[in-house]
């Protein structure tokens, strides 16, 4: 087992981070715990400040306790010492404020930040996207936008191209593009970062990374959880907007893009956007062949009976909780090698993986070849992070040429001794450092919406049905048929 080389524990400069929506799920479940972890690793200088802002009436201590309770709930196996927490919590303050309201009294927030204009200031909007424009304007009006201040916007940026455009315009009136950090937390995941290294720092792959050698690519982000408490929000979104427009398209871009000249943020983002622009539009003519919508009904998860989506929502709805898409990238590299994307809630397991399936061998020496599995590369993003090459080998020993499909296995857990920081830990530090490479540029978000809008429109025109699937399964049967029509099947790992 190897120790990871030179861990990135270089302290950032002192900062003031203002989290709007501080009592919400994202802030308590992800942001504060991530900041605690970075603080514990000595990356956050003690002069830094974390100011939680929300409309709830409470004091500093009450907010700190809320944050600690949430930390314990979400990290039950992590021992946390009271003294250690107290020290971290001394950086945390709370301000009660309705930030959407320009006429509200912004005095307490001004006081909390007074005299710190020369520190790196970051505003994190853990709020509904419809509020981004108003809150940005209010920050400006309150005179809080210090020189070099940055703003962080959570996905989704809008619910379609038009709303994304409007949000980007409104925020852009206050903050320049290079101070806007649009989060897609998948870009902060260890294994997603590794995609670039794997593809471009190994000479083996580039010559075969194209439709001549690759039959197709599968990208699956399966979740075992349901919409649950988020059902009200989720119902306005659905799997296409919630997951495909951002996470899955970002993964697709990283797999499909041309080699960038360097790793400068704009060089990489320029390459990603070319992929988005090359996505063949889905129209009402081809939508039934290119997409499948599904919604979970009652079923079982983790051995327990769970309700269906409409029961959780308390209403009938035709929002999709599962989507599968055949995406074609119309460029020289990928013509003829489709990308099959699928994501869903309440599937049979939680896993994200990318399968690169290579073409069949040209000529089988031993038998007709039709039952020989193809070479596959399995990039497992979570959990059990790792990369496998699935190869046909000779089963050792006497008994003739018996073949076996075995993995050449790089399991992160076996190979490296490291804790994988939560994506938000990396992203928050990247904001303070001003590293835009892990964030989405305005044109990237808008290009992704343009393609997704086409699908939404086609679903509407075609009245594309939402197929039911039982919770705890692989999604509706139509998802298998999407590939079956092309003589392919989702790789389920069973043969590996
Ligand atoms: C979020 C979606 O962006 O990503 C959620 O809004 C989803 O619906 C989540 O559950 C999945 O993230 P992860 O890191 O658990 O794969």
422 alpha carbon – ligand 1 mean position (Å):
13
Does 148 have pLDDT greater than 60?
A: yes
pLDDT, position 371? 72
Average of per-residue pLDDT across 259-285: 97
Pocket test for ligand 1, best of 156, 238, 247, 440 (most atoms within 8 A of CB): 247
Residues with CB under 6 A from ligand 1: 223, 242
Distance of CA 244 from the midpoint of ligand 1 (Å): 11
User: Are residues 250 and 126 part of one domain?
Assistant: no
Strand partners, 388: 378, 409
Residues 257 and 400 in one domain: yes
Query: What mean pLDDT do residues 442-455 have?
Result: 98
Q: Do residues 294 and 459 make contact, with C-beta atoms less than 8 angstroms apart?
A: no
CB atoms within 10 A of CB 76: 7
Question: How far does residue 375's CA lie from ligand 1's centre (Å)?
Answer: 30
Would you say residue 68 has pLDDT above 60? yes
**Residue ending a domain, choose from 154, 178, 195:** 154
Please, which pLDDT band fits residue 496 given cuts at 50, 70 and 90? Answer: very low
* CATH number of the domain where residue 41 is located: 3.40.50.720
- Do 239 and 305 fall within a single domain? yes
Same domain, 448 and 311: yes
Are residues 219 and 147 part of one domain? no
Please classify residue 82 by burial: count the beta carbons closer than 10 Å to its beta carbon, then call 0-12 exposed, 13-18 middle and 19+ buried: exposed
317 plus 448 within the same structural domain: yes
Q: Is residue 66 part of a domain?
A: yes
Average pLDDT over residues 144-168: 96
Nearest CA to ligand 1 atom 5: 242
Tell me: pLDDT of 5 over 60.
no
Listed residues 111, 132, 154: the one ending a domain: 154
CA distance 17 to 84: 20
* Burial environment of residue 275 by CB neighbours within 10 A (0 to 12, 13 to 18, 19 or more): buried
Q: Ligand 1 pocket: which of 222, 242, 384, 426 to mutate (most atoms <8 Å of CB)? A: 242
- Number of C-alpha atoms within 13 angstroms, CB side, residue 191? 20
DSSP labels, 404-441: EEEEEEEEHHHHEE-----HHHHHHHHHHHT-GGGSB-
Same domain, 200 and 89: no
Name the closest-CA residue to atom 13, ligand 1: 186
More confident position, 128 or 10: 128
Indicate whether 277 and 207 sit together in one domain. yes
Count the helices and strands in the chain (H runs, E runs).
Answer: 18, 19
Question: What is the model's pTM?
Answer: 0.94
Shared-domain flag, residues 148 and 197: no
Please state the rounded mean pLDDT for residues 2-29: 84
- Greater confidence (405 vs 33) lies with 33
Average pLDDT of the residues in 65-93: 93
**Interval 303-316 mean pLDDT:** 95
Residue 436 lies in a domain: no
| Average pLDDT score, the chain | 93
Q: How far is the CA of 247 from the centre of ligand 1 (A)?
A: 9
Output the residue whose Cα is nearest ligand 1's atom 8. 242
From the CA of 286, how far away is ligand 1's center (Å)? 29
pLDDT at 370: 58
Residue with CA closest to ligand 1 atom 10: 223
Q: Given ligand 1 and candidates 190, 223, 296, 349, which is best to mutate, with the most ligand atoms within 8 Å of its CB? A: 223
> CA angle, corner 461, sides to 457 and 443, nearest 5?
10
Looking at the fold, whether 73 and 213 belong to one and the same domain comes out as no
**pLDDT-based confidence at 368, cuts 50/70/90?**
low
| Number of folded domains that form the chain | 2
Q: Where are the beta strands (DSSP E) in 112-195?
A: 120-125, 150-154, 180-183
State the residue range of the domain holding 147: 15-154
pLDDT tens readout for residues 91-120 = 999 999 999 998 899 999 999 999 888 899
SS3 279: strand
Quick one: what percent of the chain has pLDDT higher than 90?
A: 83
| Known catalytic residue at 247 | yes
The residue out of 139, 154, 169 marking a domain boundary is 154
pLDDT of amino acid 240: 98
Q: Which atom of ligand 1 is nearest to the CA of 352?
A: 16
Does one domain contain both 106 and 195?
Answer: no
406-422 pLDDT tens trace: 999 988 888 887 778 89
Q: What is the CATH number of the domain that holds 226?
A: 3.30.360.10
Of the pLDDT bands very low, low, confident and very high (cuts 50, 70, 90), residue 345 is: very high
Atom of ligand 1 nearest to the CA of 227: 8
Atom of ligand 1 nearest to the CA of 237: 6
Based on the fold, state whether residues 369 and 278 are members of the same structural domain.
Answer: yes
- Report phi then psi at 259, rounded to 5: -60, 125
In angstroms, the CA 272 to CA 149 distance is 27
For residues 448-477, average pLDDT: 98
pLDDT: which is higher, 362 or 99: 99
Let me know if residue 210 belongs to a domain.
yes
List the residue whose alpha carbon is closest to atom 15 of ligand 1.
223
Q: Give a yes or no: residue 357 inside a domain.
A: yes
* CA of 225, closest atom in ligand 1: 10
Q: Are 189 and 168 in contact (CB under 8 A)?
A: no
Q: How confident is the model at residue 495 (pLDDT cuts 50, 70, 90)?
A: very low
What is the Cα 253 distance to its own chain's centre?
Answer: 13
For residue 3, pLDDT over 70 is answered with no
Q: Is the pLDDT of residue 20 over 70?
A: yes
CA of residue 426 to ligand 1 center, whole Å: 17
DSSP-assigned beta bridge partners for residue 306: 299
Whether 430 is in a domain gets the answer: no
Q: Which residue has the higher pLDDT, 82 or 444?
A: 444
The more confidently predicted of residues 368 and 58 is 58
Mean pLDDT in residue range 306-334: 97
Q: What is the pLDDT of residues 218-259, one digit of tens each?
A: 999 999 999 988 898 899 999 999 999 999 999 999 999 999
Round to whole Å and give the CA distance between 38 and 41.
5
**CA of 247, closest atom in ligand 1:** 3
395 part of a folded domain: yes
CA 265 – ligand 1 centroid, Å: 24
Q: Ligand 1, atom 9: nearest CA belongs to which residue? A: 243
Of the residues 37, 165, 247, 363, which is catalytic? 247
């Amino acid at each position: 087992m190897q120790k990871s080389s030179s861990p990135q524990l270089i302290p950032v400069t002192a900062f003031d981070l203002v989290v709007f929506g501080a009592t919400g799920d994202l802030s308590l479940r992800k942001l504060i715990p991530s900041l605690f972890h970075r603080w514990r690793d000595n990356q956050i200088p003690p002069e830094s400040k974390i100011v939680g802002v929300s409309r709830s009436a409470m004091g500093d201590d009450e907010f700190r306790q809320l944050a600690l309770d949430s930390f314990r709930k979400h990290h039950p196996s992590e021992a946390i010492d009271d003294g250690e927490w107290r020290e971290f919590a001394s950086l945390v303050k709370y301000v009660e404020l309705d930030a959407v309201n320009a006429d509200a009294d912004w005095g307490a927030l001004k006081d909390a930040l007074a005299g710190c204009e020369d520190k790196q200031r970051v505003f994190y909007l853990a709020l509904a996207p419809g509020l981004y424009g108003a809150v940005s304007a209010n920050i400006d009006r309150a005179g809080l936008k210090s020189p070099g201040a940055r703003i962080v916007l959570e996905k989704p940026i809008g619910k379609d191209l038009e709303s994304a455009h409007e949000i980007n315009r409104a925020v852009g009136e206050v903050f320049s593009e290079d101070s806007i950090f649009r989060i897609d937390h998948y870009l902060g995941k260890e294994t997603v970062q590794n995609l670039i290294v794997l593809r471009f720092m190994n000479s083996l792959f580039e010559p075969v990374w194209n439709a001549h050698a690759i039959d197709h690519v599968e990208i699956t982000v399966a979740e075992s959880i349901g919409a649950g408490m988020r059902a009200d929000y989720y119902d306005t979104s659905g799997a296409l907007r919630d997951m495909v427009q951002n996470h899955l398209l970002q993964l697709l871009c990283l797999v499909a893009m041309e080699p960038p000249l360097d790793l400068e943020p704009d060089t990489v983002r320029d390459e990603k956007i070319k992929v988005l622009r090359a996505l063949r539009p889905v129209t009402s003519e081809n939508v039934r062949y290119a997409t499948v919508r599904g919604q979970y009904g009652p079923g079982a998860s983790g051995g327990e009976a769970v309700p269906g989506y409409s029961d959780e929502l308390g209403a009938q709805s035709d929002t999709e909780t599962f989507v599968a898409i055949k995406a074609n990238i119309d460029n020289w590299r990928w013509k003829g090698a489709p990308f099959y994307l699928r994501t869903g809630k309440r599937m049979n397991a939680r896993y994200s993986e990318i399968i690169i399936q290579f073409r069949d061998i040209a000529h089988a020496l031993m038998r007709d070849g039709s039952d020989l599995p193809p070479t596959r590369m399995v990039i497992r993003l979570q959990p059990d992070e790792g990369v496998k090459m699935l190869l046909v080998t000779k089963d050792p020993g006497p008994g003739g040429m018996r073949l076996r499909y075995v993995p050449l296995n790089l399991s992160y857990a076996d190979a490296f001794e490291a804790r994988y920081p939560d994506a938000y830990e990396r992203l928050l530090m990247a904001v303070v450092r001003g590293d835009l490479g892990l964030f989405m540029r305005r044109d990237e978000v808008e290009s992704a919406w343009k393609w997704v809008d086409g699908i939404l429109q086609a679903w509407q025109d075609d009245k594309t049905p939402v197929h039911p699937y039982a919770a705890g399964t692989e999604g509706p049967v139509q998802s298998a048929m999407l590939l079956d029509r092309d003589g392919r099947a989702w790789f389920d790992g069973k043969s590996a």
